[in-house]
């Protein structure tokens, strides 16, 4: 893994860790996974980074499995989770070209296409709170850091 990618990932992970307590103050978000959340980041080359939050390894594992599926789906398709499913079910894209079968779709929000400040492709995903807030924490981290930005697609 390149040191530049690792440094960016560490920075994003630290910012998400800083923001997470605020998101977990909302009971509906805390109760999803009781604070046991996961972050995944990938670049175009397939290098990846993961970070777990919380204190209950079995639930951390569940969040990690979901976040990896979100990140991998965005990496394969170039579409945010939720958006890909809408387009596929509406017949607006040829889903077969992405190598995903319908039972494999994640569907939940929280996987996003992004770009580094230098324009390189980045995939970010979060899991463990409501889907809108999975996206929200990533958007807030991007806004605060300025080292990456979310690509709305």
Q: How far apart are CA 148 and CA 141, in angstroms?
A: 9
Q: Quick check: helix, strand or coil at residue 19?
A: helix
**Average pLDDT score over residue span 81-99:** 91
pLDDT exceeds cutoff 90 at 63 = yes
Residue 6: name the closest of 68, 67, 49, 40 by CA: 49
Q: Give per-residue pLDDT as tens, 19-46.
A: 999 999 999 999 999 999 999 999 999 9
Q: Give per-residue pLDDT as tens, 133-143.
A: 999 999 999 99
Q: What is the pTM of this model?
A: 0.94
Question: What's the token pair of residue 102?
Answer: 């319908």
pLDDT at 131: 87
Domains located in the chain, CATH noted: 3-151 (3.30.450.150)
Confidence band of 1 (pLDDT split at 50, 70, 90): low
- Within 4-118, strands assigned E span 37-43, 48-53, 111-116
pLDDT at 102: 82
Cβ burial of 121 (10 Å; 0-12, 13-18, 19+) is middle
pLDDT at 153: 64
**Average pLDDT score over residue span 63-76:** 96
Q: Give per-residue pLDDT as tens, 94-113.
A: 888 998 888 788 878 899 99
Average pLDDT, the chain: 94
């Amino acid at each position: 893994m390149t040191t530049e990618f690792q440094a960016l990932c560490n920075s994003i992970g630290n910012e998400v860790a800083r923001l997470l307590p605020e998101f977990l103050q909302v009971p509906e978000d805390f109760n999803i996974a009781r604070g046991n959340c996961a972050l995944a980041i990938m670049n175009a080359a397939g290098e990846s980074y993961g970070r777990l939050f919380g204190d209950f390894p079995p639930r951390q594992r569940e969040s990690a499995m979901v976040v990896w599926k979100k990140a991998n789906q965005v990496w394969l398709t170039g579409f945010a989770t939720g958006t890909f499913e809408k387009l596929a079910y509406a017949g607006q894209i040829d889903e077969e070209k992405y190598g995903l079968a319908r039972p494999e779709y994640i569907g939940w929000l929280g996987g996003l296409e992004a770009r580094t400040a230098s324009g390189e492709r980045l995939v970010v995903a979060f899991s463990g709170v409501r889907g809108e807030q999975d996206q929200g924490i990533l958007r807030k981290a991007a806004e605060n850091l300025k080292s990456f930005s979310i690509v709305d697609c």
